[in-house]
Chains A and B, each alone.
Chain A
Amino acid sequence: MQKKPISGRMHGAAQKSKHELYPSLTMWQRGLRRLRRDRPTMAAIFTVLGFAVISLLAPLVSAALNVDPNEIDVTNNYAPLFSEGHLLGTDELGRDHLSRLLYGGQVSLGIAFSAALLSLAIGLPIGVFAGYYGGKLDDFINWFIITLNSIPFLYLLAIISALLSPLPLTFVVILGTLGWTGTTRLVRAEAYSLKQREFVIAAQALGASKLRLMFQHIVPNIFSLLIVSLALAMGSLILTESALSFIGFGIKAPTPTWGNMLSGGFDYMRRAPHLLVLPGMLIAITVFCFYLIGDGLRDAFDPKIAD
């Protein structure tokens, strides 16, 4: 190991001011630093990212293994794990299970991600406006949210998707337009309390416009909360998708999703248990990871917890 000359190190330290030696961290820097030290959360993040990347690479992986997710080969159905040409076996129609899982991951993760993002995009502005302006607008939005929340969510979802029998994209829109109320409630309460804080009043005194106050001063302070709720929402959306698939109102075959592969797997569980076990495991692991990530992010970005 090479040692630096002592004098040089002394010299360097002497030149740096105290401020440079211990630079003050912004909330984001501190949060990210804490996050990096939180091993379970980092493991969960990498697991989910890994699933996402492999799923996105599904066409390449399928091509490399020389399989096709939609190629039917009835003579070779229910092939077990590690059989020839099909690493994870085949399903009831002889389609390659691995590539279907990957394409299903694209759909399931994609739906969860885009629906969570969509409900954030709807819920955030509505919540900020309601919390900031209050009054009649707030009352109306509150009434609307209470109304939507009083109808059992799964009933509403099941009815709409049963009547429309949606494609993945429509499904995202349905989930997003029904799921924004939670975000709005969260944002509304935060915006209401933040608008009375000194820094917002100071900005107002300096002549900032209302839009600037809302989106430049209030929203950034809610952002860490929103990321947490995004992670938690993605976990529960994957579960919702699989539950809807189970009662038959989710995404329809032949488009594979983990949800409809899992509920389809029950019919063949005696002949080919891997059709049941693998999608179930993928769902459980992914949702588990999202919950870990949500918890970890909450701890990392909570200013009340000391390092």
Chain B
Amino acid sequence: MHQYIIRRLLQGIPTFFGITMVVYAIILLAPGDPIMILAFDPTMRQDERDRLAAQLGVNDPFYIQYLRWLIGDDWMMVDTNYDGEVDSWGDNYGILRGDFGTSFKFRGSNPLQLIAERLGATIELNLAVLLTGLTTGIGVGVLAAVNRGRFFDKFTRIFAVIGDSLPAFWLGLMLLVFFGITLPRFLIDFDIGNGSPLLPMGGRCPPVRGGCPPLFARLHYLILPTIVSSVGVIAVWSRLMRASMLEIISSEYIRTARAKGLTDRSIWFKHSLRNAILPFAVFLGPAFFSLLGGSIIIERIFTWPGVGLVTFDALVSRDYPVLMTSVVITSVLTIFAYILSDILYAAFDPRVRF
């Protein structure tokens, strides 16, 4: 088992380097002049331009730039005052040693820190979605399998297809309109309260008033984004769970259990459910991953201060260091999610050999 875990972790390394290459290639191929973005001064003199270009190293061949970004340049002499000669050691450490450069937009701030500050919010939200989505999805799927062909089964099937075909952001905005405009008006009209109970989302962790309230004090902020994100998860998982349950229930050992005279309840919920859930350990990684990707939409709708929102802001302002950091960090998290789900699967399934 230990060996398997170590081997699986080692397999993540080439993937990590692949990701850094893809990310760097995209930024490198992007049109637009990084110097213009950074200096934002059309009247800049040519020699100033050249100096900045030398500082940033944008004139070097792409593999040197990539290497410098990856492992830093403190091992090579660089030209700092643009006189054509190398004159001092570089001072970048590269992302492998945790140096992601400095943000273009927030001068002097560390992108890694910007991301790390927001990572908690994203993980909090995604864990809530995963928890809600999986428990509801599995529950609905099992009940649909038990009541196969009856009303509940048909109803949840329609719900699943609709949940799959609605754009998530549409649902999110509709909820936002209801809780942000319709409900407060109603409350004010009837003199019940002031403002909406579940909004504003941005108030989750007020940065000005200092500190974050403990999780239980701000759980209500989680409700709307969790509903919107989990609809898709519930739709997919309930169908998968139903199919898996029906496959298990027609197998021989269930017939044996019936022949032994076990109750239906015990057969469905003890003998079938455990075996039906097993294959889904493998979906945990991809589920987490698709949620991370979708967070850019959900966080934008609800101004949820997570990684998705930082990425969006960085994209709009062309803040390349922050953008690259965010992609690298979320990708690393994704790799870990995949590895974790593989290990879980191996740990729970006795048929998997190491």
Contact = CB atoms under 8 A, between A and B. Distances in A.
B165 A288 contact: yes
Contact of A163 (B14, B31, B162, B330): B31
A280 B167 contact: yes
B296 A154 contact: yes
Contacts of A153: 290, 293
B170 interface: yes
Contacts of B334: 150-152
B131 interface: no
Interface in A276-294: 280, 283-284, 287-288, 290-292
B164 A164 contact: no
Interface string B19-40: 1001100110011100000000
Contact of B19 (A150, A247, A288, A290): A150
A292 B331 contact: no
B18 interface: yes
Contact of A164 (B31, B292, B294): B31
B161 A243 contact: no
**Size bracket, chain B contacts:** 35 or more
B293 A155 contact: yes
6 closest A-B pairs by CB: A147-B18, A152-B293, A287-B165, A163-B30, A288-B165, A154-B293
Contacts of A149: 289
A246 B297 CA distance: 8
Contact of B323 (A151, A159, A288): A159
Contacts of B326: 155
Interface string B126-168: 0000000000000000000000000000000000011011111
B282 interface: no
B167 A292 contact: no
A266 interface: yes
Given A162-B315, A235-B165, A242-B167, A150 B327 contact: no
A283 B177 CA distance: 20
28 contacts: A150-B18, A150-B289, A150-B338, A151-B330, A151-B331, A151-B334, A152-B290, A152-B334, A159-B26, A162-B315, A163-B26, A163-B31, A164-B31, A239-B167, A242-B170, A243-B297, A246-B297, A247-B296, A247-B300, A247-B312, A280-B167, A283-B167, A284-B166, A287-B164, A287-B165, A288-B162, A288-B165, A292-B161
A293 to B, nearest CB: 12
B31 A151 contact: no
Nearest to B172: A246
Interface string A154-171: 111011101110000000
B267 interface: no
B109 interface: no
Contacts of B173: 266
B82 interface: no
A159 B167 contact: no
A291 B297 contact: no
A154 B315 contact: no
Interface in A237-263: 239, 242-243, 246-249, 262-263
A154 B167 contact: no
B335 interface: yes
A147 B15 contact: yes
A199 interface: no
A290 B297 CA distance: 23
A201 interface: no
Interface in A120-158: 143-144, 146-156, 158
Nearest to B170: A280
Given A151-B331, A247-B312, A269-B177, A291 B165 contact: yes
Nearest to A157: B293
B226 interface: no
Contacts of B297: 154, 243, 246-247
B238 interface: no
